[in-house]
Structure 1
């Protein structure tokens, strides 16, 4: 049977014109048993459309690891290392991940207590909640009515030592059903988004770049971001903005000399824009919570200087300034009409181009609502590629 594709089921809140190329449901093929020819077709589809959905997929942890690895055959370890969080319980990621013993690259995530699962006798899972990470939170009364928030917009990446995974695979095994929730932005805009219970929300990094006005496109194409060492430990004492898009600047980050041992050579500096290996398009790919500095190259010779930001280049080290600039550039792309909130069903498999989208956990479950997912992403064999000289000439 030939591979068939159909558009993703967009919610009424989505602007269809912004999703013309984003996301496809794949039919007629089993993702766990792809032939080499079928995989090549899936690979092209993923890079072209950023996210692929397979319904009613049968997928063992071994098959999920093999599928994820096929996108980057030299990759081996889980995206944060096979010890998950850098051998420290201080990491903000530590409570969210449980390793499948026989396939350490696959993580069990979800909510509630799961028994006798793939070699785990008992696993207590906790769905991440904005109430433990944001500076402010919705009231208990509103939460009881189903009001919630984006938890943290991010890229799956260690952002220290290891290279960002190319692809993440998410497989729904136990999916509780429930009333829809209202995701509030609580940033003074009045924006809100109706979402399915426990949705994973996605936005396009390509759209994030294309929305920018000319002067910010010029800045983006010339810039690189520096991430903090062990960023998930560094950010753990801090609080996120109510949109989940970055950290409030309150001086709460862990001091660099209090972090686990780190080496300057392993600190990551990445372009703001990552080049799609198939389409050649530029995707705005910044994990706003881990950023600490910004490097801006000067305008190329002959470029118009009028209205340009930092025309002579810059090295920005003021954390508040760097975060404010990132927020200004990224916030338009998480507008309700630009978010795809996936409505999970059991045996849904979603593949997403981790170097082309940002995503967020959303919502809250009650302790007795059991949810179990398998997640796999692998630290890549190379770092992302940024804009080339022609891109800089075009946009700067």
Structure 2
């Protein structure tokens, strides 16, 4: 049976025009038993559409690992190093991960207590909550009314020592039912977004770049981001913005002298825009919470300087300036019409192009709402490619 494609189920809040090339439901194949030809087709579809949804899938952890690895056969370890690089209990990721014992590249995430699950006799899972990470919180009264927030917009990546995974696979084993919730941005815009309980929200990095005004496109193709060493430990004492799109600049980050041992050559410096290996398009790919410095190259010879930002280049080291500039560039793309909030069903499998979009955990569960997902991504065998000289000349 040939692969069939159907549109993903967009909510009425979504701008359908902006999603015409984003997301597809894949039918007619078993993602756990793809032939080489089917795998090549799925590979290209992922890079073309960013998110692929398979419904009613039966997938073992071994099959999920094999499928994820097929996108990067030389990759081996979990994207954060099979918990080794994040074993520090100071890391904000520490409470969220439980490893499937026989397949350490696959993580069990969710909420509540799960028993006798894939070799784990008992696993206590905790859905990340904005109340532990944001500077401000939704009140208890509003929480009872279903008001919530995006937790943290991010790329799945260690951002230190290991290269960002090409693809993440998320497989829903247990999905609790409950009332829909309303994401409140709480940033003075009045923006809100109705979402299914426990949705995973996605935004396109291509759209994030495409909607920028000319002067910010120029900056994006000329810019590189330097991340902190051990960024998830570094940011742990700090607080996030109410949109989940970055960190408040309060001087609370852990000093480098108190971080776990680190080496300068393992610190990651990445282009702001990453080039899609199949379509050739540029995606704005920055994890705003871990960013520490910005390098901006001068305008190329012959480029117009009118209205250009940092035409002679710059190295920005003031953390608030770096964060404010990135926020200005990224915030338009998380506006409600540009967010795809996936409505999970049990046995849904979602593959997403981790180098082409940002995503966020959303919402809040009660203790008795049990949820269990299998997540897999693998530290890549290569680094993401940035814009070509031709791209820079086109947009700068």
TM > 0.5: yes
Matching residue of 2:395: 395
Given that 1:78 and 1:84 are in contact with CA atoms closer than 8 Å, whether structure 2 keeps it comes out as: no
Given that 1:85 and 1:93 are in contact with CA atoms closer than 8 Å, whether structure 2 keeps it comes out as: no
Shift of 1:87: 2.5
Matching residue of 2:110: 110
- 1:178-217 alignment runs, 5 A limit: 178-217=178-217
For the residues of structure 2 that align with 1:327 and 1:207, how far apart are their CA atoms?
Answer: 15
For the residues of structure 1 that align with 2:22 and 2:137, how far apart are their CA atoms?
Answer: 31
Given that 1:84 and 1:97 are in contact with CA atoms closer than 8 Å, whether structure 2 keeps it comes out as: no
For the residues of structure 1 that align with 2:115 and 2:155, how far apart are their CA atoms?
Answer: 30
- 1:224-235 alignment runs, 5 A limit: 224-235=224-235
- Structure 2 residue matching 1:176: 3-state secondary structure: coil
Tell me if 1:267 matches 2:267: yes
For the residues of structure 1 that align with 2:4 and 2:93, how far apart are their CA atoms?
Answer: 37
Matching residue of 2:49: 49
For the residues of structure 2 that align with 1:14 and 1:84, how far apart are their CA atoms?
Answer: 39
Structure 2: gaps (5+ residues): none
Shift of 1:84: 5.0
Shift of 1:123: 0.4
Q: CA RMSD in A?
A: 0.5
Change (3 A) 1:196 1:83: same
**Deviation string for 1:357-379 (max 9, x for gaps)?**
10000000001110000000000
**Deviation string for 1:330-388 (max 9, x for gaps)?**
00000000000000000000000000010000000001110000000000001100000
Shift of 1:193: 0.1
Tell me if 1:238 matches 2:230: no
Given that 1:85 and 1:94 are in contact with CA atoms closer than 8 Å, whether structure 2 keeps it comes out as: no
Given that 1:130 and 1:150 are in contact with CA atoms closer than 8 Å, whether structure 2 keeps it comes out as: yes
Tell me if 1:371 matches 2:375: no
What stretches of structure 1 move > 6 A for 4+ residues in a row? none
Tell me if 1:172 matches 2:169: no
For the residues of structure 1 that align with 2:73 and 2:86, how far apart are their CA atoms?
Answer: 23
- Structure 1 residue matching 2:304: 3-state secondary structure: coil
- Structure 2 residue matching 1:31: 3-state secondary structure: coil
For the residues of structure 2 that align with 1:7 and 1:322, how far apart are their CA atoms?
Answer: 37
- 1:1-396 alignment runs, 5 A limit: 1-83=1-83, 85-396=85-396
**Deviation string for 1:17-65 (max 9, x for gaps)?**
0000000000000000000100000001000000000000110000000
Given that 2:51 and 2:353 are in contact with CA atoms closer than 8 Å, whether structure 1 keeps it comes out as: yes
Structure 1: gaps (5+ residues): none
- Structure 1 residue matching 2:104: 3-state secondary structure: strand
Given that 2:276 and 2:283 are in contact with CA atoms closer than 8 Å, whether structure 1 keeps it comes out as: yes
Shift of 1:82: 1.0
For the residues of structure 1 that align with 2:222 and 2:329, how far apart are their CA atoms?
Answer: 14
**Deviation string for 1:138-168 (max 9, x for gaps)?**
1100000000000000000000000000000
For the residues of structure 2 that align with 1:295 and 1:372, how far apart are their CA atoms?
Answer: 41
- Structure 1 residue matching 2:32: 3-state secondary structure: helix
- Structure 1 residue matching 2:207: 3-state secondary structure: helix
Shift of 1:83: 2.3
Q: Mean Cα displacement is larger for which, 194-203 or 80-89? A: 80-89
Shift of 1:255: 0.2
Equivalences, count: 396
Given that 1:167 and 1:352 are in contact with CA atoms closer than 8 Å, whether structure 2 keeps it comes out as: yes
Given that 2:86 and 2:94 are in contact with CA atoms closer than 8 Å, whether structure 1 keeps it comes out as: no
